[in-house]
Chain A
């Protein structure tokens, strides 16, 4: 499904954040990527989500070698990967209501007609009431906003879901609810998952296997050096 080989990435070519990292997520598999804050997990997640071009290394997605990131990646490839970010406040456009937030990917891909149906399907799934859907981000809590962000990531039915510290800002019950939503979606669709975080207990329970940043794990994989 997803294969990252020898990825080096960062924001300054002379001082990359991620050095020579490899990672594999098989079809339908849930992989947890563990590591301390600031080690480059999020950067690696952005590379995998086609949002950050690496300086070196190769990435394959569904058997295709990726040659372009961000807008240089074809739209269908970008939307095959759904992303949930760590901070819901920053990852929601403050001018949009939660309903519009969830609908954005549909509108971006010319599926405007599906908006009422898909939003009506997803909102109860992530636990958002009709009344909350009309509110704008400043009028809801972090947990409610993250629920909407998860719905947005699922609205195009991605084959790979990347959760970058999705639950770091949330309380235990919201965390449990969101993890359950992800697992229900994966059971229904067979999608793969890359969950990035530093909560070892959570990721070990949630994922089929976890990879620890900075330690060589089983055989071919060498998740990190730097």
Chain B
């Protein structure tokens, strides 16, 4: 990979930055944990964590917030990856929290908002002081102002008006008891960078990300694949269509996009010509309002 003029490509530069951030957290903070959803961003983040400490094992556990609405393919992928890496898996369960009465199901069926208290409870229970998240700044305007090291108070809240200045690559990980740091090693990656890295490093991803003929139902201009959580309603017609997922959220809310891309390289070609943001195209939960992400982040959402 060395070139005579000592230059790195954009992927190598981003990779070096992310590895530096991940190592810095482990060196400075007591109990880090990596939030792993089984989505492509957290898959890349986990791979970067592996590279950061190789040939040693990743020196922190991985946490999954199980909403009870996960795609089975994603859970299967999660368990396989965790076993391969020999890391500890912590599961924070939304259905358990609903059963215990600590959170209440929302009328619209979305568990996006109620997963936040479940996450925060798990963080407190395990005493985690640093949480790695796979968020990228190009995803949303609220994320565009995030730090690499994002300070959270004892309630896990984000205060956009009172962020620590972040200079050079000198990250400030100092906290008091009860406070924590959210760390976003992929801050500077774009969607295309993630895909290019998956291609270049031959990183395994759940099959949902590739096009396949699936039974779909159309709702408000979006295609939902019929699954355990999405059943055709009265009067709705299903049809077979070749679709793939651009993001993998809850199975009852994540729409698929029409696609014939059956390889990572074809996905990249599609994304490069597609003119719709990831979240706008596929996430029912971000459409509630223009500031939906901003509000959820303040409450402690990733």
A and B associate: no
Q: Which residues of B come within 8 Å of A, CB atoms?
A: none
Binding site for B on A (CB under 8 A): none
